[in-house]
Amino acid sequence: MNRFLSSLAFILISYFIYGFYVSQFELNFVPKKVKTSDFYYDYRINMNIHTNQSIGSEPLSIILNEAKKAQNNFIMVTDLNPSLKIPDDSYLQNMGVLQGVKYSYKDSRLLYYSTQDKNLGLKPGESQLQLFDLLSGEAAQNSKQFISLAHPFSNGYNWTGDAPTGLDAVEVVNLKSLSQKAWDESKLSTIWSLLIYPFNPKLALIRLFLEPSEELNFFDQVSQHRNFVATAGAEASARAIPLADWLIKFPSYERSLSIVSNHLLLTSELSGNIHEDRDRILAALKAGQFYICFDALGDPKGFQTYLYDDVNEKRFSIGSTTKNNKNLKFYFKLPAEPNSFYEVVLFKNGQRVDTLNTFQGVFSPHGPGTYRIQVRISPRLPLPDAIKWLTWIYTNNFYIN
100-149 pLDDT, tens digit per residue, is 888 887 778 889 898 876 665 555 555 666 777 777 765 556 778 899 99
Residue 3 burial (C-beta neighbours within 10 Å; 0-12, 13-18, 19+) = exposed
Average pLDDT over residues 209-231: 92
CA–CA distance, 257 with 245 (Å, rounded to integer): 26
In this prediction, residues 74-101 reach a mean pLDDT of 86
In terms of pLDDT, which residue wins out, 323 or 32? 323
CA distance 393 to 344: 9
List the one residue out of 379, 387, 383, 356 whose CA is nearest residue 298: 379
- pLDDT for the residue 248: 53
Question: What topology does CATH give the domain 302-401?
Answer: Immunoglobulin-like (2.60.40)
Q: Where are the domains of the chain?
A: 39-300, 302-401
> What is the homologous superfamily of the domain 39-300 according to CATH?
Metal-dependent hydrolases (3.20.20.140)
pLDDT at position 20 is: 75
Predicted model pTM: 0.90
Whether the predicted pLDDT of 36 surpasses 70: no
Q: Answer yes or no: are the C-beta atoms of 32 and 62 closer than 8 Å.
A: no
- Stretch 346-361: mean pLDDT: 93
Residues 6+ apart with CB under 8 A from 319: 227, 229, 284, 287, 288, 289, 290, 396, 397, 398
CA 382 to each of CA 161, 200, 201, 273, 334: distance values in angstroms, whole numbers, following the listed order? 41, 11, 14, 46, 25
If one compares 18 and 347, the residue with the highest pLDDT of the two is: 347
Query: Which segments of 148-212 does DSSP mark as H helices, in order?
Result: 175-185, 187-196, 201-206
Q: How far apart are CA 215 and CA 152, in angstroms?
A: 7
Dist CA 226 CA 239 (whole Å): 37
Whether the upstream peptide bond of residue 59 has omega within 30° of 0, thus cis, is no
User: What H or E segment, with its residue span, contains residue 76?
Assistant: strand 74-80
Q: Which helix (H) or strand (E) holds 275?
A: helix 274-287
Q: How far is CA 229 from the centre of its chain?
A: 12
315-to-228, 264, 279, 331 alpha-carbon distances in Å = 21, 17, 23, 10
- The two domains 39-300 and 302-401 share their CATH topology (first three levels equal): no
Top pLDDT among 309 and 130 is at: 309
Secondary structure class of 224 (helix, strand, coil): coil
pLDDT above 90 coverage of the chain, percent: 37
Tell me the per-residue pLDDT of 188-218, one tens digit each, with 9 for 90 and over: 878 888 788 777 877 877 888 888 899 999 9
3-state helix, strand, coil in the chain (%, to 5): 25, 30, 40
- Asked if 328 and 307 count as a contact pair (C-beta separation under 8 A), the reply is yes
pLDDT of residue 105: 79
Give residue 89's pLDDT band: very low, low, confident or very high (50, 70, 90): confident
Cα gap 123→103, rounded to integer Å: 12
CA distance 361 to 31: 19
